[in-house]
Structures are given as C-alpha cells and as structure tokens.
Amino acid sequence: PRRAAAPATQIAAAQAVALPQTATDFEIRAWLGALLLALGLVLSRRRLAA
C-alpha cells in the first residue's frame, strides 16, 4: 500500500515545492490541508477495504 501511494505523494510534494514564491501562506496552508485530507481519505478507505 505504501509503495502504491509513494508516487502520488512524490508528485504532490514536487508540485508543492514548485508553488510560486508569491503564494500566500493561506494558499499554501489550504493546498497542504487539501492534500492531507485526500491522503487521509485514501488511507481510511484502504483500512475499511482491508
């Protein structure tokens, strides 16, 4: 499961790093919050399925 999620997290991390320096703290926090929420949903679904 972790290996399958690794590429997605690496891509998301690369996109986060690629965010423009002009992005506000709110935009960065909102983007990271959405990423963590999506990751949590995926993990919870996998736990329920297993």
- Whole domain around residue 44: which residue ranges? 2-49
pLDDT at 12: 76
Question: Would you state the pLDDT for residue 20?
Answer: 59
The answer to whether 49 touches 4, Cβ cutoff 8 Å, is no
Give how far the C-alpha of residue 24 lies from the chain's centroid of Cα atoms, to the nearest Å: 18
Taken as a whole, the chain contains a residue count of: 50
Q: Which two tokens stand for residue 32?
A: 């990271």
pLDDT tens digits, one per residue of 1-50? 556 556 777 777 777 776 655 667 788 888 889 999 999 999 888 888 76
Q: How many domains does the chain fold into?
A: 1
Supply the pTM of this predicted model.
0.45
